[in-house]
Structure 1
C-alpha cells in the first residue's frame, strides 16, 4: 500500500479524544502518563509513547504469529513482538530485561474504525491490523499477527546487534 493510501485510510476514521489515552491501567491502578499516550487494540496489541524518558518512538507489543528469532548476541529476555517506530526506523524484536514503559500497564482500548492522534502520529485499527502514520517523516507501519509492514521510504537493512528486523528511510 502506498503511503498516501495508508494516510487516507487512517484519516477516514473519525478521531477519538486523545485526552482519555494519557493513562495506563494495571491491576485496577491508574497511572497518569502526562503527555505520553497508551492504547490497546481490540485484537490485543498494546502501544505506548515514552517522551518523558527521551524516546520519540511509539512502542507496541504485538502478538506476532512468526516473530523474528532471537539473535545470538542477545542477553536477557527476548521480545520478538516488541516494535519501535519513530518514523525514520521500524525495529521488530528486541531484548528487554524489564517491561520498560509498559511497567505502568496498558492503555484503554482504541475502538475499531476510530483514529487517535498524538504528537506526530495518527493510528487506526480494524479487525485485522493497526496502522500508524508518522506525519513528520511521512512513513507508516502496519502491525498485525501476520507481520509488520513498513510504508513509504522504509527499506529493510541488516539490524544492529540485539534487534530482530530493522527498516530505515
Structure 2
C-alpha cells in the first residue's frame, strides 16, 4: 500500500510541472551568484567640488580658479571697513567700504560717485606713462574697476574718493565681501572679483593682471591702460 501511495504522489508532482497546453512552465529567473555579473546600479550624478587652490592663481588662470582662491579665505567683518581716516579724523562712509593692504601697496575704496565701483591707488613699480595730451595731475597707479572695465592710470584734479583718507588694513589671508565684489589680500598681491560681470583682477606693485572677460584694448586719450569685457 505504501508503495502505491508514493507512486501516485510522483505522478501528481510530474503533472504539476507541465504548463498549459502541455508545455513546460518557464523557469523562475535565478539571482546572480557571488561570482556573476549583477545589473548596474545608479551612480551619483556630478562630482564633489574640487578642493580650493592652495596657492594664489597664476596669470591667465581661469576666473573660476581665482574665485575659488578668494572664497577660500576666511571672511573679514565688513563692519570694520565703513570709514576712512586722515590725520586722526575719521569719516563714516555709510554703506561704502575702504581698506588698505598690509604692505601699503594698495589703498582701495568704493566710489559713491561711480555707483560703488572699486577704485584703488597702487604704488606700481612701472606705471603707465602719462599720455601726451593729458591735463591735470597724472596718477599712473590710479585703478578704476567697475566690473565690465578696468583702467590703470588717469589724470585727476583732486583726490576724489581718497580726499577724506584711507580705510583699515585688511590682513593677509582674509577676504572682504561688499556689493558685487569680494577681495582677498595675499603677500603676492590683492585679488578681487566682480560677481556681476564674472571678472577678476590681481593688483600688486609689479602690475595688474586681469581674469575672466577682461581683455586689454586701446585706451582713450586720457587713460594709461584699459581692459574691457
TM over 0.5: yes
1:111 is displaced (CA, Å) by 0.3
Q: Which residue of 2 aligns with 1:127?
A: 187
TM-score by length of 2: 0.72
Alignment match of 1:34 (pick from 94, 98, 101): 94
CA offsets, 1:40-79, max 9 Å, x none?
001111000022x243420001110100000112101000
Q: What's the secondary structure of 2:163's corresponding residue?
A: helix
Runs (5+) with no aligned partner, structure 2: 1-60
Q: Which residue of 1 aligns with 2:111?
A: 50
Say which structure, 1 or 2, has more relative contact order (CA 8 Å, 6+ apart): 1
Alignment of 1:12 onto 2:78 = no
Q: Which residue of 1 aligns with 2:203?
A: 143
Q: What is the root-mean-square deviation in Å for CA atoms of aligned residues?
A: 0.8
State the number of aligned residues.
Answer: 168
In terms of fraction of residues, the more strand-rich structure is 1
8 Å Cα contact 2:100-2:170 kept in structure 1: yes
TM-score by length of 1: 0.97
Query: Which 4+ runs in 1 deviate beyond 6 A?
Result: none
Comparing 111-120 and 155-164, the one that deviates more: 155-164
Runs (5+) with no aligned partner, structure 1: none
